[in-house]
C-alpha cells in the first residue's frame, strides 16, 4: 500500500515506538455510549477523579453541546483542578466547540467522518465539504488556544488517499493530532500498523489510536498502531463502548508494560478499584475471566499450577496480583491436591499431616463434582470438622494393619526351620 505514496514521504528518521505513549481515556464519553449505560453526574466526577489518580494523560469528559446535565458534568470535571488534560468531544461545528469552550476544557476533539460510505449516506455531502468543515472547525478552536484532536471517524474504511488529504488539512489548520478511528473494529494488527505508519510518514502528524473490539482485536490493534509510531491511545475502563466495546485501559497499559516493555508510569495498583467502580456505575459486572482485572486471574485450583505458584509465582504469573489491585487465592475443587488443601487449612489455623490431607482431598473432590464447582471456605471447613475424626481413625486402622502385617511376617520368618537342622 505504502508504495503508492512514495513521493509524499517526509525525509525524517523513523523512531518506531514513541518514547512516551499518552492515554486519552474516553470512558465518560464513548464508554457511556454503550447501549443502556448512563452515568449519574456524581459518578462521572468520581470516575474522573479515579482516572486522574491512575495517572492518565487526558480524560475525554463528554459532549457539551448536548447541554443540560452533560454540559454541567463536563464543566464540573474541568473545574476539579485535576492533573490531567480535560478534553470535550465535538462535531466539526463551531457552535459545538463554543459549548465546549464555555465548560473550561483545555482540549477539544473535532470529529468528522472520513469514509465514503459515511460521507455519502450519513452526512450526504461531498469530500470537499468534509475538508472545509474540518479546516473551519480546527482554525476556530486553535484561535481559542486549546489543544485539538481531529477524529477521522471510520478511518479504517476510508480511501487512503483521501484520508491522507484529510490528515494534511487538519495538520495545516493547526490540529495537534489525528485520531484514527477503527469505528467498526474491522482491522487486524498488520493492516493497522501499515495504515498508521503511512499516515505518520506521509503527513507528519501525531496519531491517536481509537480501536473497537468487534472482532476481539481492539487492544492488539491499539498496540500495533503504537508500534507504528502513534503516541496516543484512546481507551475505556473495562473496554466499555458501543457494540463490542473499545480497547480497555487496563489491557493496553499492562500489555505495553509487560509485553512491549513500555511503562506508561500509571498507578496500575488502582486498576481493580477503578474497574469495580465503573462496573457498578455502568451496571456491567466484571466477568471473572476478564483480562488483567478479572477475579480469576490469580486464582488457582489445579494442583500442579497451585504447587508451582506456591514455590515461585512467576511460574504462572507475568506480573504480581498487587500490580493491578488483586490478590492471589487458592480454591479447593475437583483438580486440587494435598499442597493446596494444607495451605487453605493453614489460613484458618488448622494443621494436618500429608496423610490426613491425602485422605481429605478425596472427599473434597467428590463434593466438588457433586456441586459442579469449587468449594467455599466454609464448606471446606465443614468437611474438615465432619470427617477429620473418621479420617484419623482410618489412618490409625491402616497403621495397625500395617504393623500387624510386619509382626506376622517376622513370626513366619522365625518359625521356618532351617534345611541344615532338618537334615541333622
What is the chain's Cα-based Rg?
A: 31
Measured in whole angstroms, the distance separating CA 183 from the mean position of its chain's CA atoms is 19
Alpha-carbon distance values, 56 to 107, 232, 272, 285 (Å): 15, 11, 15, 23
Taken in order of first residue, the domains within the chain and their CATH numbers are: 18-282 (3.20.20.70), 299-403 (no CATH)
Measured in whole angstroms, the distance separating CA 210 from the mean position of its chain's CA atoms is 15
pTM attached to this predicted model:
0.87
Dihedral sign computed on CA atoms, order 182, 263, 255, 239: negative
Q: List all residues 6 or more positions away from 261 whose beta carbon is below 8 Å from its beta carbon.
A: none
pLDDT the model gives residue 415? 59
b/e 154-167 (16+ beta carbons within 10 angstroms → b): bbbbbebebbbbbb
Q: Which three cell numbers stand for residue 371?
A: 456441586
pLDDT tens track, the chain, 424 positions: 555 555 444 443 345 667 789 999 999 999 999 999 999 999 999 999 999 999 999 999 999 999 999 999 999 999 999 999 999 999 999 999 999 999 999 999 999 999 999 999 999 999 999 999 999 999 999 999 999 999 999 999 999 999 999 999 999 999 999 999 999 999 999 999 999 999 999 999 999 999 999 999 999 999 999 999 999 999 999 999 999 999 999 999 999 999 999 999 999 999 999 999 999 999 999 999 999 999 999 999 999 999 899 899 999 999 999 999 999 999 999 999 999 999 999 999 999 999 999 999 999 999 999 999 999 999 999 999 999 999 999 999 988 887 877 766 666 665 555 554 444 3
Angle among Cα 212, 215, 216 to the nearest 5 degrees reads 75
d(CA 177, CA 195): 15
Phi, psi of 350 (to 5 degrees): -115, 130
With 0-12 / 13-18 / 19 or more C-beta atoms within 10 angstroms meaning exposed / middle / buried, residue 375 is buried
Q: List all residues 6 or more positions away from 172 whose beta carbon is below 8 Å from its beta carbon.
A: 135
Q: List all residues 6 or more positions away from 316 whose beta carbon is below 8 Å from its beta carbon.
A: 300, 305, 308, 309
Amino acid at each position: 500500500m505504502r508504495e503508492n505514496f512514495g513521493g509524499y514521504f517526509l525525509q525524517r528518521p523513523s523512531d518506531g515506538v514513541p518514547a512516551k505513549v499518552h492515554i486519552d481515556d474516553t470512558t465518560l464519553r464513548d464508554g457511556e455510549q454503550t447501549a443502556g449505560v448512563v452515568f449519574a453526574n456524581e459518578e462521572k466526577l468520581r470516575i474522573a477523579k479515579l482516572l486522574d489518580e491512575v495517572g492518565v494523560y487526558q480524560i475525554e469528559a463528554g459532549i457539551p453541546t448536548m447541554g443540560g446535565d452533560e454540559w454541567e458534568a463536563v464543566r464540573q470535571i474541568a473545574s476539579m483542578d485535576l492533573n490531567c488534560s480535560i478534553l470535550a468531544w465535538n462535531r466539526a461545528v463551531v457552535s459545538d466547540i463554543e459549548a465546549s469552550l464555555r465548560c473550561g476544557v483545555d482540549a477539544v476533539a473535532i470529529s468528522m467522518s472520513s469514509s465514503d460510505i459515511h460521507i455519502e449516506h450519513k452526512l450526504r455531502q461531498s469530500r470537499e465539504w468534509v475538508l472545509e468543515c474540518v479546516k473551519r472547525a480546527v482554525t476556530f478552536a486553535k484561535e481559542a488556544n486549546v489543544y485539538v484532536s481531529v477524529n477521522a471517524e471510520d478511518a479504517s474504511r476510508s480511501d487512503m488517499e483521501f484520508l491522507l488529504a484529510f490528515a494534511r488539512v487538519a495538520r495545516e489548520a493547526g490540529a495537534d493530532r489525528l485520531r484514527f478511528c477503527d469505528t467498526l473494529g474491522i482491522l487486524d494488527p498488520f493492516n493497522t500498523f501499515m495504515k498508521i505508519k503511512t499516515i505518520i510518514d506521509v503527513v507528519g502528524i501525531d496519531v491517536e489510536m481509537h480501536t473497537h473490539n468487534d472482532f476481539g482485536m481492539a487492544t492488539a490493534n491499539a498496540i500495533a498502531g503504537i508500534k507504528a509510531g502513534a503516541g496516543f491511545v484512546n481507551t475505556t475502563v473495562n473496554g466499555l463502548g458501543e457494540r463490542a466495546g473499545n480497547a480497555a485501559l487496563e489491557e493496553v497499559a499492562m500489555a505495553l508494560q509487560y509485553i512491549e516493555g513500555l511503562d506508561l508510569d500509571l498507578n496500575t495498583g488502582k486498576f481493580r478499584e477503578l474497574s469495580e467502580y465503573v462496573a457498578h456505575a455502568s451496571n456491567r459486572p466484571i466477568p471473572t475471566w476478564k483480562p488483567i482485572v478479572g477475579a480469576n486471574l490469580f486464582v488457582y485450583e489445579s494442583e500442579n499450577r497451585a504447587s508451582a505458584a506456591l514455590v515461585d509465582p512467576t511460574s504462572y504469573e507475568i506480573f504480581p496480583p498487587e500490580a493491578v489491585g488483586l490478590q492471589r487465592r487458592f480454591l479447593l475443587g475437583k483438580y486440587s491436591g494435598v499442597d493446596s488443601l494444607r495451605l487453605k487449612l493453614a489460613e484458618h489455623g488448622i494443621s494436618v499431616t500429608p496423610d490426613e490431607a491425602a485422605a481429605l482431598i478425596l472427599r473434597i473432590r467428590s463434593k466438588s463434582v457433586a456441586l459442579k464447582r469449587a468449594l467455599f471456605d466454609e464448606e471446606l471447613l465443614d468437611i474438615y470438622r465432619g470427617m477429620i475424626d473418621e479420617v484419623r481413625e482410618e489412618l490409625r486402622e491402616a497403621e495397625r494393619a500395617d504393623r500387624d502385617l510386619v509382626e506376622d511376617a517376622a513370626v513366619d520368618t522365625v518359625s521356618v526351620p532351617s534345611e541344615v537342622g532338618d537334615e541333622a
